[in-house]
Chains A and B, each alone.
Chain A
Amino acid sequence: MRQRTQTAYAFLTPYLLIFLAFWIWPIINSFWLSFLNTRSANWTFNPRMTWGRLLVDPAFANALQNTLVILVIQVPIMIALATVLATLLNSPALKVRGLFRFAFFAPVVVGEVAYAAMFRLLFNEFGIINKMLAGIGLTTIPWLSDPNAAMAVIIIALTWRWAGYNAIIILAGLQSIPEDVYEAATLDGVSKVRQFFFMTLPLLKPVILLCVVLSVIGTMQLFSEPFLITNRGGPGQATETLGLFLYRQGFNAFNFGYASAVAYTIAALAIAISLLNLWLGRERE
């Protein structure tokens, strides 16, 4: 028995070593780093240059604000859309359900760079979106050079990419609600609309909460879209997110101490917002 345990650990060791070296150690080390002034030749303990700077740095405040704006607008829109999509997918009237399920899920498996390039083309000054706007007599929008419009593009892109993914998760939740509960409500004279609001939504709450928490975590780390679609948080710093700001501090300015403090802030915020969501959505007796 002991022999077998040892053998098992022997097989696990390579993985554990890598896990230790590239996961655990960086997490611990960056916590230590976040207290160091890394802008001088020899790094010294000086939290004022990292944690202290967070409080006064307007660029950090801007990135934080952008991230929260995206979070507050995009997550609710996407979850609502995902719920609607899931409900449609679950409808017995729907034929070729498998095809739709695949289509909704597909954006997640498309390569990030390809998807970003596509959105850049779509929302280009002379892209198809502006063509369509002009076609129906509306004014065209400088999507990628107007700060607000660029923000909208990020939100649209994120929603396109993740709504279907969340819809599939919510669909699983929908399918776990037994059909006869709805039949009972139908016999009780409860309309379909009321069944949705008074039965489906409350019963989906745990699943929707899961989607919200996953989306919050994802959005807090948001990086690829502003990096690739709006060209590193452009125009100016209009779409710079915390993730992008961290990248800029760590890998452009090589200010590892400050970047570590930002990283810990992102993690702390993601945890705090998720906990807040779970608390708000808790089961009340």
Chain B
Amino acid sequence: MAGVTLSKVVKRFGSYEIIHGASLEVADGEFVVFVGPSGCGKSTLLRMIAGLESVTEGDVSIGGRVVNDVEPAERGVAMVFQSYALYPHMTVEQNLSFGLRMTGHDKADIARRVERTAGILRIAELLKRKPRQLSGGQRQRVAIGRAIMREPQLFLFDEPLSNLDAELRVQMRVELARLHKELGVTMIYVTHDQTEAMTLADRIVVLRDGTIEQVGRPLDLYNDPDNQFVAGFVGSPKMNFIPALVVEGDGRGVTVELAGQERTTRLTQPLAGPAPEPGSRVVVGVRPEHFGDAGKGDADLLVNVDIVEHLGGTSFIYASTAGDYGLVIQRDADGVADAAEITVSIRKSYLFDENGKRLR
């Protein structure tokens, strides 16, 4: 059993710095998801924990032991790769047992583990097949099985589901959650898909350009993002961002004027911290589901309806304001009238300063 600690981890390839001092505590048995756009350094960070990449600066510890100079195989980790990385010339059974056979493990024990693994992942009937005779979902199961075989203290997943179709992805997501419950070991999971992160994680680590933007439980990130990036990244469809100018502010709150509206639209928000100077630029963030009926919120917007998507229970209205700011508005299906223009009210909003930092 092992937690993971990153302290001020830096990674450079040559002179190019990819990870800029990441610090993080992962508790024993926790399911932590690294999420962020493609190229932000998620894989690099994961591979440093696995030992596949060296650590340029800082320390990586597993189970309280600094492992910077420990061989990958000695770290007690198992990793599942996006491309599965199965041994193509071996049967499923050989794939599962290869590592243990090569390291001189007891034969009877290997057989026992194969049986157990095949049971957990329901791949018993595939044991004699080669990887190319398997579907994508089956390959991914085998890849996970190979990780289980090692009985690791720590599982690392690098976008394990991104090569699967949508339906299978949902199914495997549920299985991974079940697996985590069953094995009770620490798991670190990398994905660029915020839905995966939200559904799987005990805690989410949001990364951008090699920097940890925020760490928190899924709903905390959703309800209380630290900055505009996290606010935009977590939640689907994305949070709407409307530029605004500060009109006045004092110790208790701030009033801003939204840009690009049909008529002057002001919004007042309480603030615990100091308010920005009048005249400074801010951004108002509104989640699609935080629009309400006209007159029932903090501010009313008149918008032009471009397209309406009916999903059954809910509908998404793709609209724009007079200043041509696109908005996505979520409404109950029966609350959507077939109109070219509607007025919606902002029921809840977030305020960000010019640098994207949350104002609260």
Residue in chain B with minimal CB distance to A183: B52
Q: Does B150 contact A (CB under 8 A)?
A: yes
B85–A184 touching, CB < 8 Å: yes
Are B102 and A186 interface neighbours, CB within 8 A?
no
- Residue A199 interfacial (CB < 8 Å): yes
A180 near B83 with CB under 8 A, answer: yes
Chain B residue nearest to A191 (CB atoms) is B102
**Which of chain B's residues have a CB closer than 8 A to the CB of A202?**
89
Contacts of B86 in A (CB 8 A): 181, 184
Known: A186-B52, A202-B89. A180 touches B98 (CB 8 A): no
Determine if B78 is an interface residue (Cβ-Cβ < 8 Å).
yes
Tell me how far the C-beta of A213 lies from the nearest C-beta in chain B, rounded to whole angstroms: 20
C-beta contact mask, A155-193 vs B, less than 8 Å → 1, else 0? 000000000000000000000001011011111111100
Chain B CB within 10 Å, residue with most, of A186, A187, A194? A187
User: Do A190 and B98 touch across chains, with their CB atoms under 8 A apart?
Assistant: yes
In the complex the two chains form, what is the Cα distance from A27 to B175 in whole Å?
Answer: 65
A195 to B74, CA, bound (A): 17
CA distance A239 to B31 in the complex (A): 71
Q: Is A273 an interface residue (CB 8 A)?
A: no
22 of the cross-chain contacts (CB-CB < 8 Å) are: A178-B83, A178-B85, A180-B83, A181-B88, A183-B79, A183-B85, A185-B87, A185-B99, A186-B73, A188-B73, A188-B99, A188-B103, A189-B74, A189-B99, A189-B102, A190-B98, A190-B99, A190-B102, A191-B102, A199-B87, A199-B89, A203-B88
A23 interface residue per 8 A CB criterion: no
Name 4 extra pairs, CB < 8 A, besides A186-B52, A189-B73.
A181-B86, A183-B85, A187-B50, A189-B102
Tell me how far the C-beta of B119 lies from the nearest C-beta in chain A, rounded to whole angstroms. 21
Q: Are A185 and B98 in contact (CB under 8 A)?
A: yes
| CB-contact partner of B79 in A187, A190, A198, A203, under 8 A | A187
Which chain B residue shows the least CB distance to A189?
A: B73
A186 & B72 in contact (Cβ 8 Å cutoff)? yes
**In the docked arrangement, what's the CA distance between A189 and B79, Å?**
12
Q: Contact size class for B?
A: 20 to 34
Using Cβ atoms and an 8 Å threshold, which residues of chain B touch A199?
87, 89
* Distance in Å: Cβ of B307 to nearest Cβ of chain A: 41
Task: Give the CA-CA distance A203 to B52 in the complex, in Å.
Answer: 22
User: CB-nearest residue of chain A relative to B99?
Assistant: A188
A184 touches B102 (CB 8 A): no
B81 to A183, Cβ gap below 8 A?
Answer: yes
Q: For residue A190, which residues in chain B have a CB less than 8 angstroms away from its CB?
A: 73, 98-99, 102-103
Residues of A within 8 A of B103 (CB): 188-190
Using Cβ atoms and an 8 Å threshold, which residues of chain B touch A205? Answer: 89
A181 lies within 8 A of B87 (CB): yes
The winner among B78, B83, B102, B146 for most chain A CB atoms within 10 A is B102
Beta-carbon contact of A198 and B77 below 8 Å:
no
In the complex formed, the residue of B with least CB distance to A198 is B102
- CB-based nearest A residue for B52: A183
* Among B78, B88, B100, residue most surrounded by chain A Cβ atoms (within 10 Å): B88
| Contact indicator A181/B85 (Cβ below 8 Å) | yes
Q: Please indicate the chain A residues that have their CB under 8 angstroms from the CB of B83 in the complex.
A: 178, 180
Asked if A188 contacts B85 (CB within 8 A), the reply is: no
Mark out the residues of chain B between 210 and 239 whose CB falls within 8 Å of any chain A CB in the assembled complex.
none
B218 to chain A, nearest CB (A): 29
Shortest beta-carbon distance, A191 to chain B, in Å?
A: 8
Q: Mark A198-240, 1 if CB is under 8 A from B, else 0.
A: 1100110100000000000000000000000000000000000
Measured in the bound complex, the distance between the Cα atoms of B98 and A194 in whole Å is 11
Task: Report the separation of the CA atoms of residues A35 and B214 in the bound assembly, to the nearest whole angstrom.
Answer: 87
Across the two chains, which residue of chain A brings its CB closest to B77?
A: A187
Q: Are A184 and B88 in contact (CB under 8 A)?
A: no
In the assembled complex, the Cα of A239 lies from the Cα of B35 at a distance in Å of 69
The distance from the CB of A142 to the nearest CB of chain B, in whole angstroms, is 48
Q: Considering only CB atoms, which chain B residue lies closest to A202 in the complex?
A: B89
Pick the 5 closest A-B CB pairs, nearest first: A188-B99, A189-B73, A180-B85, A184-B85, A190-B102
